[in-house]
C-alpha cells in the first residue's frame, strides 16, 4: 500500500523536477523574484517618498506687507521655495494650487505682525490640495516652519516680560521603546513572512497540481495510469504528496531567501540596523515549519481537487487564478495592526496560520492555538483529499469531453 | 479468457440526453484467441474496452478476466490485464525505460525481473537505442512501441488493445501485428478494436461488428463474408452495417 504511494510519489517528483515550469515556480520565483519584488517595491516607495520630501515645493505668501518677518523666514527656508513675485488676491489661490503653479499658499490676517507685536492674537490660513502628495508635503513643511515661527515669537514675548521659558512648559513627555531589537526584527519579519509563506505555498503547488491532474488528462496519460492495478486513492495520495512537497519547498525557499535578504540587506542599512536585529531561535523555526505543513496541505488538496476537474491545463489555470485572489486577502491579515490570534480566529484557515507565525516571530508560542490550527488545518486538508479521491472515482469528471 | 456478458453502458449527457454507448454486448475471447471489435467511429468500441479495463463501470452486465469480475475485484482483474488505450499517452519527461519501469513497479514486479523483462521487450520491439531518450523526443511509431511495452510489461494473460495500429507506418504496424500473433501463440486472450478490415481479417479468430452500441454480427471472417454475401471484408462490413440500418 505505502509502496504504491511511494512509487507514484517518486515518479511524479522525478517528472516534476524535470519540468522547467515547476522549477521556475518552486525555486526561482521564491528565491529570486518574489523577495526582490517585495523588497524592491518597498525601497522604491521609501526612495520616492524621500525624493519628494527633498524637493523644494513652491509656496506663496499672501499679504506679505503685513508679515515681513514671516516673509524673511519663508524666503530663507531651505525646504521650500518662496514665490517672491507672487502677491495675488485670495480668490486666485485655489486655481493656482490646482493647476500646480504653486503647491501651497499662506495667507495672513490683515495687520498680522502689528497684532503679534502688540501681544494680540492673529490668524494664518494655509491653502493646499490634500489629493496631491507634493502639496500635502508642502503643507506639512509649512506647519513646522510656522510652529517654529510661533515659538520664536513666544520666546520673545516671554523674554520681554522676564519670564523663563519653563514657565509655559510645566512638564515634558518622553517616550521610550522598550522592545528589544530582536523583537522589532521579529515584528517586521512577522508582517512579511506569513504573507510570503501563504502566497508561495500556493504558487509552488499550483503548477504541479495542474500538471499532475489536468496535465495528465491533456497528455492522455490519465487513462493509462488508471489501468494500472493500484487503487485510485493511492494514486491520489502519491500525487498529493508530490504537490505538497513542491508547495513546502517553495515556502521554505521563500522564507529562507526573505530572512537572508532582511538580515543582510534591509537591516544592514544604517538607519534601521541600530533599532532592529533579528534573532531566530530553533523554536521559531520549528513552529513555522510546523505551521507551514497544514497550509501546504490545504493548498495542495484544494488545487488538486480543482484541477482534476479541469479538462486541460488552460482550464485548470483559469480555475486556480481566482483562488489565488481569494487567498491573498486572508494572507494580508499579518499586515493589519491590532489583529491578534484568539480562540475563534484559530479556526479560520490561513488567517490562523498567518497570525500564529507572526506571534511566533515575536517570541510568543501558544501551544493550544498552535494545536487547534494544526488539527483544524489537517481536517480541512483531509476533506479536500477526500473530495479529490471521490473525483478520481467519478468517470463523468475524468472523461469529460 | 475475457468474457463479456450482456454488457450495457448508459451515459447521461447534458446536451444529448441519454446515450446508450453499449447495448447488451456479449462476446468471449478464449485462451489463444483473438477477438476483433469492428465498428465505425463512435460505435461503442472504446466504451466496451474501457469497461473491460475497469476504467468505466458498466450500467449492467458483467465482465470477467480469467474468471475475475472486473467490477467486484478491479485490482485483481487488472493484475492479469494489459490495456493499450486509444490515446497513447506517455510521460514526456520520462525516458522510455523509466516509463516502462514505472508501470512495472505499479504492477508489483521485483526489480530484477522488471529489468530483464524491459530489456527483452526493448529487443523485441527493436528500440534499445531509444531506451534512455525522453518520451517527448520519440517518433510516433517509437512512442507506440513504448506504449505496447508498457501494456505488457507484467506479461498479462489478457490483452486489450484499442486501435493499436492507427497512424503507424507499415513497418511499425507489422511489428505490432507480429507481436499480437506471438502473444496469441503464447495462449493469451486478446481483444482488440480496429477499423482496418484486412488487418482484422488476417489476425482475428472471431470478429464482432459493433454498431450504435450493439453487436450486430459475430463470427469468423469467412462466416461474416458468407452472411453478408460479399467476398471482401470491407464490403461485408458495410453491407452488414447498412443492413442493420434498414432493419432499424
SS3 track for chain B: CEEEEEEEEEEEECCCEEEEEEEEEEEEECCCEEEEEECCCCCCHHHHHHHHCCCCCCCEEEEEECCEECCCCHHHHHHCEEEECCCCCCCCCCEHHHHHHHHHHHCCCCHHHHHHHHHHHHHHCCCHHHCCCEHHHCCHHHHHHHHHHHHCCCCCCEEEEECCCCCCCHHHHHHHHHHHHHHHHCCCEEEEEECCHHHHHHHCCEEEEEECCEEEEEECHHHHHHHHCCCCHHHHHHHHHHHHHHHC
Which helix (H) or strand (E) segment is A352 a member of? Answer: helix A351-361
DSSP of A316-344: HHHHHHHHHHHHHHHHGGGGSTT----TT
For residue B53, the chain A residues in CB contact (below 8 A) are: 227
Sequence-distant (≥ 6) Cβ neighbours of residue A366 within 8 angstroms: A341, A356, A359
Inter-chain contact A228–B79, Cβ cutoff 8 Å?
no
**Predicted local distance difference test score (pLDDT) of residue A270:** 42
Alpha-carbon span B65 to B83, nearest angstrom: 12
Counted across chains A and B, CB pairs separated by less than 8 A come out at 70
Q: For chain A, 401 residues long, give each residue's pLDDT as a single digit of tens.
A: 788 999 999 999 999 989 888 888 778 877 877 667 767 777 777 788 788 778 889 999 988 888 889 999 998 988 898 887 766 777 888 888 998 889 999 999 888 988 888 888 889 999 999 998 889 999 999 999 999 999 999 988 899 889 888 888 888 899 888 877 777 777 877 887 888 888 888 888 888 999 998 888 888 888 888 888 888 888 888 998 999 999 998 888 888 887 777 776 655 544 454 556 677 778 888 888 888 888 888 888 888 888 888 888 899 999 888 888 888 888 888 788 778 888 888 888 888 888 888 888 888 888 888 888 888 877 877 777 787 777 777 776 776 55
Other CB atoms closer than 10 Å to residue A326's CB: what's the count?
A: 13
Higher pLDDT, B159 or A85: B159
For residue A18, the chain B residues in CB contact (below 8 A) are: 93-94
Inter-chain contact B89–A7, Cβ cutoff 8 Å?
no
For residue A212, the chain B residues in CB contact (below 8 A) are: none
Summarize pLDDT for B38-74 with one digit per residue, the tens. Answer: 988 888 898 999 999 988 889 999 999 999 999 999 8
Which of B75, B88, B147 has its CB closest to that of A229?
B75
Under a CB-based contact definition with an 8 Å cutoff, are residues A96 and A88 in contact? yes
**Predicted local distance difference test score (pLDDT) of residue A274:** 53
Q: How far A202 CA sits from the closest chain B CA (Å)?
A: 24
Alpha-carbon span A8 to B96, nearest angstrom: 17
Is the pLDDT confidence value at B31 over 90? yes
- What are the backbone dihedrals phi and psi of residue B129, each rounded to the nearest 5 degrees, phi first? -70, -20
Inter-chain contact A14–B81, Cβ cutoff 8 Å?
no
Q: What is the ipTM of this complex?
A: 0.86
Sequence-distant (≥ 6) Cβ neighbours of residue A157 within 8 angstroms: A119
Cell of B231: 467476398
Q: How far A12 CA sits from the closest chain B CA (Å)?
A: 10
Helix axes B170-185, B140-151, angle to 10 degrees: 10
Q: Does A15 touch chain B (CB under 8 A)?
A: yes
Inter-chain contact B93–A220, Cβ cutoff 8 Å?
no
Inter-chain contact B78–A395, Cβ cutoff 8 Å?
no
Alpha-carbon span A334 to A357, nearest angstrom: 9
Sheet of strand A80-82: strand arrangement: A80-82, A57-62, A104-108, A124-128
A376-380, B111-115, B146-150, B232-236, range with the lowest pLDDT: A376-380
Inter-chain contact A228–B107, Cβ cutoff 8 Å?
yes
Q: Does A4 touch chain B (CB under 8 A)?
A: yes
For residue A216, the chain B residues in CB contact (below 8 A) are: 89
Inter-chain contact A226–B89, Cβ cutoff 8 Å?
no
Alpha-carbon span A165 to A291, nearest angstrom: 58
Under a CB-based contact definition with an 8 Å cutoff, are residues B63 and B4 in contact? yes
Under a CB-based contact definition with an 8 Å cutoff, are residues A384 and A302 in contact? yes
Which of B54, B89, B150 has its CB closest to that of A219?
B89
Which of B88, B90, B102 has its CB closest to that of A11?
B102
Give, as one character, the DSSP assignment of residue A28: I
**Predicted local distance difference test score (pLDDT) of residue B35:** 95
**Predicted local distance difference test score (pLDDT) of residue B154:** 93
Cell of A210: 495542474
Q: What is the mean pLDDT of chain B?
A: 89
Alpha-carbon span A293 to A378, nearest angstrom: 9
Q: Does A17 touch chain B (CB under 8 A)?
A: no
Q: How far B239 CA sits from the closest chain A CA (Å)?
A: 31
For residue A396, the chain B residues in CB contact (below 8 A) are: 12
Inter-chain contact B91–A221, Cβ cutoff 8 Å?
yes
Is the pLDDT confidence value at B247 over 50? no
Rg of chain A over Cα atoms, rounded to whole angstroms, equals: 31
**Predicted local distance difference test score (pLDDT) of residue A30:** 77
For residue B56, the chain A residues in CB contact (below 8 A) are: 395, 399
Largest CA distance in chain B: 58
Inter-chain contact B85–A227, Cβ cutoff 8 Å?
yes
**Predicted local distance difference test score (pLDDT) of residue A401:** 52
Sequence-distant (≥ 6) Cβ neighbours of residue A311 within 8 angstroms: A214, A217, A218, A400, A401
For residue A221, the chain B residues in CB contact (below 8 A) are: 89-91
Smallest CA-to-CA distance from B159 within B131, B141, B135, B179 is with B179
With an 8 Å Cβ cutoff, the interface of chain B facing chain A consists of 12, 50, 53-57, 75-76, 78-79, 81, 83, 85, 87-94, 98, 102-103, 105-108, 147, 150
Higher pLDDT, A285 or B88: A285
Amino acid at each position: 500500500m505505502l509502496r504504491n504511494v511511494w512509487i507514484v510519489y517518486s515518479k511524479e517528483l522525478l517528472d516534476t523536477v524535470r519540468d522547467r515550469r515547476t522549477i521556475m515556480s518552486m525555486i526561482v520565483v521564491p528565491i529570486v523574484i518574489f523577495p526582490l519584488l517585495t523588497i524592491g517595491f518597498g525601497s522604491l516607495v521609501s526612495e520616492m517618498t524621500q525624493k519628494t520630501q527633498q524637493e523644494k515645493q513652491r509656496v506663496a505668501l499672501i499679504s506679505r506687507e503685513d508679515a515681513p518677518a514671516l516673509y524673511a523666514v519663508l524666503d530663507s527656508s531651505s525646504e521650500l521655495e518662496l514665490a517672491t513675485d507672487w502677491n495675488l488676491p485670495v480668490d486666485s489661490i485655489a486655481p493656482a494650487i490646482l493647476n500646480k503653479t504653486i503647491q501651497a499658499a499662506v495667507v495672513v490676517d490683515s495687520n498680522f505682525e502689528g497684532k503679534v507685536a502688540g501681544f494680540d492674537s492673529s490668524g494664518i490660513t494655509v491653502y493646499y490640495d490634500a489629493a496631491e502628495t507634493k502639496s500635502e508635503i508642502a503643507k506639512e513643511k509649512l506647519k513646522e516652519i510656522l510652529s517654529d515661527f510661533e515659538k520664536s515669537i513666544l520666546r520673545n514675548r516671554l523674554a520681554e516680560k522676564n519670564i523663563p521659558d519653563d514657565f509655559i512648559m510645566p512638564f515634558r513627555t518622553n517616550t521610550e521603546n522598550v522592545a528589544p531589537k530582536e523583537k522589532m526584527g521579529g515584528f517586521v519579519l512577522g508582517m512579511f513572512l506569513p504573507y510570503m509563506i501563504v502566497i508561495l505555498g500556493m504558487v509552488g503547488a499550483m503548477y504541479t497540481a495542474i500538471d499532475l491532474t489536468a496535465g495528465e488528462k491533456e497528455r492522455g496519460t490519465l487513462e493509462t495510469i488508471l489501468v494500472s492495478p493500484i487503487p485510485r486513492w493511492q494514486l491520489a495520495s502519491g500525487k498529493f504528496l508530490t504537490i505538497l512537497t513542491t508547495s513546502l519547498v517553495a515556502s521554505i525557499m521563500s522564507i529562507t531567501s526573505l530572512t537572508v535578504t532582511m538580515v543582510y540587506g534591509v537591516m544592514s542599512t544604517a538607519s534601521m540596523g541600530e533599532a532592529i536585529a533579528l534573532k531566530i531561535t530553533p523554536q521559531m523555526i520549528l513552529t513555522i515549519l510546523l505551521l507551514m505543513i497544514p497550509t501546504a496541505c490545504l493548498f495542495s488538496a484544494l488545487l488538486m481537487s480543482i484541477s482534476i476537474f479541469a479538462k486541460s491545463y488552460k482550464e485548470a489555470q483559469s480555475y486556480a487564478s481566482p483562488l489565488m485572489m481569494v487567498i491573498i486577502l486572508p494572507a494580508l491579515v499579518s499586515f493589519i495592526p491590532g489583529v491578534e490570534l484568539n480562540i475563534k480566529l484559530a479556526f479560520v484557515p490561513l488567517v490562523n496560520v498567518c497570525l500564529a507565525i507572526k506571534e511566533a516571530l515575536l517570541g510568543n508560542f501558544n501551544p493550544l492555538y498552535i494545536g487547534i490550527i494544526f488539527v483544524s488545518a489537517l481536517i480541512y486538508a483531509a476533506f479536500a483529499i477526500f473530495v479529490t479521491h471521490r473525483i478520481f472515482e467519478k468517470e463523468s469528471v475524468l472523461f469529460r469531453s | 479468457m475475457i468474457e463479456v456478458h450482456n454488457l450495457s453502458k448508459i451515459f447521461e449527457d447534458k446536451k444529448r440526453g441519454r446515450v446508450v454507448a453499449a447495448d447488451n454486448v456479449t462476446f468471449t475471447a478464449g485462451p489463444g484467441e483473438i477477438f476483433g471489435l469492428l465498428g465505425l467511429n463512435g460505435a461503442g468500441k472504446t466504451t466496451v474496452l474501457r469497461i473491460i479495463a475497469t476504467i468505466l463501470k458498466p450500467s449492467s452486465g458483467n465482465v470477467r478476466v480469467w474468471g475475475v469480475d472486473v467490477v467486484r475485484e478491479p485490482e485483481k482483474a487488472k493484475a492479469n490485464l494489459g490495456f493499450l488505450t486509444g490515446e497513447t499517452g506517455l510521460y514526456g519527461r520520462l525516458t522510455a525505460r523509466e516509463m516502462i519501469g514505472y508501470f512495472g513497479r505499479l504492477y508489483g514486479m521485483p526489480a530484477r525481473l522488471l529489468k530483464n523483462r524491459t530489456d527483452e521487450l526493448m529487443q523485441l520491439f527493436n528500440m534499445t537505442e531509444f531506451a534512455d531518450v525522453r518520451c517527448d523526443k520519440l517518433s510516433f511509431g517509437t512512442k507506440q512501441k513504448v506504449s505496447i511495452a508498457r501494456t505488457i510489461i507484467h506479461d498479462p494473460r489478457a490483452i486489450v488493445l484499442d486501435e493499436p495500429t492507427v497512424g503507424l507506418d507499415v513497418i511499425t504496424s507489422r511489428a505490432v501485428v507480429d507481436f499480437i500473433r506471438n502473444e496469441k501463440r503464447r495462449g493469451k486472450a486478446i481483444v482488440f478494436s480496429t477499423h482496418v478490415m484486412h488487418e482484422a481479417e488476417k489476425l482475428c479468430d472471431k470478429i464482432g461488428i459493433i454498431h450504435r452500441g450493439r453487436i450486430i454480427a459475430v463470427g469468423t471472417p469467412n462466416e461474416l463474408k458468407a452472411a453478408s454475401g460479399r467476398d471482401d471484408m470491407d464490403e461485408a462490413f458495410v453491407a452488414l452495417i447498412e443492413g442493420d440500418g434498414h432493419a432499424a
